[in-house]
Amino acid sequence: MDQQLRDSPARRFPGRQVAALLLLVLAASCATIPEQHKAERSDAFSRPQETALGRAYAGGAKYARPGDSGYRLLNNGISALMTRAAMADLAEKAIDVQYYIFDNDDVGRFLLERLLAAAERGVRVRILLDDSELDFEDHFLAQLDAHPNIEIRLFNPLPGRARWSRALQLVMHLDRLGRRMHNKVFAVDGQAAVLGGRNIGNRYFEARAESNFRDVDVFATGRIVDEVGRQFDTFWNSEIVTPVAAFARAPLQPAAGIFALLKSGDDTIGPHAEYLQSSAEYRRRVGHAHDELIWAKGSAIAEPPVRQAPGQAKASSEIARAHAIARQQAQKEMTMEVAYFVPGERGVELLSQMVQRGVRVRILTNSLTSNDVPAVHAGYSRYREGLLRGGIDLHEYRADAPRPERRQQLMHLGRSESALHAKVVVYDRHLVWIGSANFDPRSRRLNTEDGLMIDSHVLAERLLATIEQDFSAENSWRLALEPASDSAQTHLVWSGSSAGKTVRFTDEPGASVWQHLKVIFISILPGMEELL
């Protein structure tokens, strides 16, 4: 028995070590943000006419009506990445970057290299990142920040900087640290911007060897970019944002070899190789292809950096308000493609009311096998029957659905496995929403979000043409309620097409026992839905 006790986990990890670990966690969670690095105010560049991009687009004004902006869908992951790289290379005055996730992988390092190259030319680069999913170490970011033309700030940073303590800090201070910046902006010279669903990382741009996201962005130019810039400034100059220099262990100089740190080891494949092959074409499309743009009126909509002020009973939502107006005005149809969909009872009621007044409502979200967040599927699945009873045409994206891909690319092409990450809505085939916000409690109440609401029949038809493929029987399961043979109750049925034949399932198609068990476990946790 003595030998068993000495060899037991309790003996190998004695009480004093447990106590020490708990004290370390407590110390990390109680740490405070350094105050000696007060952020100086700066504002978006607002004189695009002084840049080549601004002058070029001024020449394209003949395509637009007064108040219009120009738009182009970025439906393909590779073109979405190359467009951002071309924008950085064409920048002359300023680049503003704002993301929830910016991974330290091939894509992340590739874009940082383009941003650093712009800074070397004298372009001011402002990078605003959410801290909860930060994939770069503080010291590395501080080295970039030490460049005279680069400044990096973190949204709602965790006080303890040790990576291992992040999850514990979030649990201990969920009310404060659980509120994250989910925005996605890449803006150049006050003239061009990309917004949509994509974070920065391999999986968002067809660069992972395993699987990739199906997503949608929009390139915008003109008046609406000034709105995007003002919204970026609201975040950049907010008290909830801290310069990354505040976390540096010592004063830093720019790393002489930082270009080498960012460079990929293989130039024959990946984003560097792809851009080497196609950069001229993407620079042309960004800088001169006015006739390829769709010119229409639109507005940039974003939540404030602090969603809920102290003493405020409920968080307001500018995005939810815009969609509420659009739903009320819709007369014929609403098509939604959204990655994370947890409508709640109120959402089911609102969507059902649209059907009752003659509006066709179609929704595509992730299936259990394609959803990368099982907790979201647990929250969503309890509302499926209510949605179907309300007359909603409900579809679930398949993990084996192919994504839009361009031929002859030099990026890693993942297996056919994919997951839906887009957040787009089309009302009555003319009003288009493309942004970062999901249809879930976190987007409605906690996270900050952004996006564009654009009034254009042409853009709506182009977007519907692309996502119509996602709704097809080969790419998604269509859900229905059917009466059970042995009772008066109904059960869910998934139908689709495989190898040219119609297939039907009475349980989650392709899901493993482990996936089912995870969803069941999460479903019984109290209060989980409000955190999704």
C-beta neighbour count of 150 within 10 angstroms? 23
DSSP 288: T
Catalytic site includes residue 184? yes
Are 319 and 473 in contact by the 8 Å Cβ rule? The answer is no
Nearest 10 degrees: Cα torsion 377, 383, 385, 388: -100
Look up 428 and say whether it is catalytic: yes
Identity of residue 359: V
Tokens coding 224: 């609406």
SS3 104: coil
Concatenating the DSSP letter of every residue in 472-530 gives STTTEEEEEEEE-TTSS-EEEEEEEEETTEEEEESS-TT--HHHHHHHHHHHTSTT-GG
Reply yes or no on whether 182 is catalytic: yes
Checking DSSP bridges between strand 294-302 and strand 476-483, what pairing results, if any?
unpaired
Catalytic member of 93, 147, 182, 377: 182
The residue written with tokens 């969603």 in the block is: 307
Q: Is 38 a catalytic residue?
A: no
Q: Are 374 and 342 in contact (CB under 8 A)?
A: no
Q: What is the dihedral of CA 194, 440, 134, 20, to 10 degrees?
A: 170
152 Cβ contact list (under 8 Å, min separation 6): 127, 128, 129, 141, 142, 144, 145, 243, 244
Residue 377 designated active-site: no
Catalytic hit among 372, 428, 430, 518 = 428
Give the active site residue among 184, 272, 377, 395: 184
* Secondary structure of residue 54 in the 3-state scheme: helix
> Do residues 112 and 196 make contact, with C-beta atoms less than 8 angstroms apart?
no
Question: Which one is catalytic: 423, 440, 450, 470?
Answer: 423
- N-to-C CA span, the chain: 47
Are the beta carbons of 492 and 394 closer than 8 angstroms? no
- Indicate if 421 belongs to the active site: yes
Catalytic annotation, pick one of 103, 145, 189, 440: 189
By CB atoms closer than 10 A (0-12, 13-18, 19+), residue 11 is exposed
Catalytic site residue from 138, 272, 421, 440: 421
Q: Which residues are catalytic?
A: 182, 184, 189, 421, 423, 428
